[in-house]
Each structure stands twice: as C-alpha cells, then as structure tokens.
Amino acid sequence: MKYIKLLRIIIGIFLLGVISCSNVPSKFKSNSEPNGYSDLKWGTNLTALTDMVKIRTDPFLKVDIYTRKNESLKKGMIKFKRIEYAFWKNKFKSVSFCIEKGYWNWLFLKIGTFKKYGKGVKHKMFEGVEYLWQGEKTNAILLRAKSKTSQCGGVLVIESVEIQKQITAYLKNSRKGVR
C-alpha cells in the first residue's frame, strides 16, 4: 500500500515537473533518447507479450502494472528491488526501476543513467534529488528516496510522451464527464 502511494507521488511529481519545467532545456544527450525499453517499443500491445505478470492496477490512472517472468534484478553493479512495466489500454507506456537501498546502489544507478542519457536537469523536490530528461518521444525522471519508509533506494522512470498525453487528456475529459 505504501509503495502504491509512493509510486503515485512519483508519477505526480514527474508530471508536475514536466509540465512546470517545459521551458527548461533537459534533453537527452545526442542519439540517446529511447523509444521504449529493451525490446519493448512505446505502444507495444500487451497481447503480443507472453512473459508479463500483472501485479496491480492503479485505480486513478487506469494503468496496469506488470513484471516480466524470470527478469534479472541485477544489471551490472545495480541491484533492483523490482522492474515494473506500465500499460494503459494495453499499450506499453512506461517502465520503472526501483533499486535496493544503499549508497553504492544509488550511485551506480545515477552514474549509469548519466552515462546513457546525459546529465539531465537537477531539481530539488519532495523526498530526494530529482533529475529530469525530456525528449520528443520519451521523458525520464531519476529520484533518490531518502525516507526511511520508502521501499526503494531510488527510482528511475522512463515513459512515453505520446501515451502520457493520451492519459492526461483522458483524465481531463473524465473530470468533465466525457470518456
């Protein structure tokens, strides 16, 4: 339950950061902007995937969260607590990486992310230091969780710009009674 609240807060902060910082240059370094994660491109239909296991649905965003069967939770020097894939209307919208707690684990995630995408823009928000990248197809956020109640030592979220726009429009219309 606490994790769901943390994830909602992270997503809310992410959306707020993207919207409020849209004039701040926070591009991915040249030729590094992803169009999905691993073998999954943004918008990949969930029905085409056989290795996903549903773990929950976010009732507010109407997003289904999955993990992949037999996915390694260690990549290089980084130990992950979980890697979660979000689907909206069965379309791949984002991936989030929750790392195990520990200074070195956070440092390896931060260095690896900077190496892959560039430094991003640094913000001080909520429970940690946030870095933001904005691209044509993809946005990303890196957050260090400092709270003792947090299950993660940090979180990297990479999401589809287009599908997030669709979700935002859906939520705006659903408040008006249009679906």
33 lies in which domain range?
A: 2-175
Does the global pTM surpass 0.75?
yes
pLDDT per residue rounded down to tens, the chain (179 residues): 555 554 554 555 454 444 444 445 578 999 899 999 998 999 999 999 999 999 999 988 889 999 999 999 999 999 999 999 999 999 999 999 999 999 999 999 999 999 999 988 887 665 566 899 999 999 999 998 877 778 889 999 999 999 999 999 988 887 776 55
Rounded to whole angstroms, the Cα distance separating 150 from 171 reads: 27
- Give Cα 3 distance to the centre of its chain: 14
User: Which pLDDT belongs to residue 21?
Assistant: 45
Task: Find the DSSP H helices in the chain.
Answer: 2-20, 103-117, 161-175
Query: What is the number of domains present in the chain?
Result: 1
Rounded to whole angstroms, the Cα distance separating 84 from 42 reads: 14
User: Which pLDDT belongs to residue 3?
Assistant: 52
User: Which pLDDT belongs to residue 81?
Assistant: 95
**DSSP for the chain, written as a single string:** -HHHHHHHHHHHHHHHHHHHTTTS--PPPTT---SEETTEETT-BGGG-SSEEEEEEETTTTEEEEEETT--SEETTEEEEEEEEEEETTEEEEEEEEEPSSHHHHHHHHHHHHHHH---EEEEETTEEEEEEE-SSEEEEEEE---TT-S-SEEEEEEEHHHHHHHHHHHHHHHTT--
Rounded to whole angstroms, the Cα distance separating 75 from 23 reads: 34
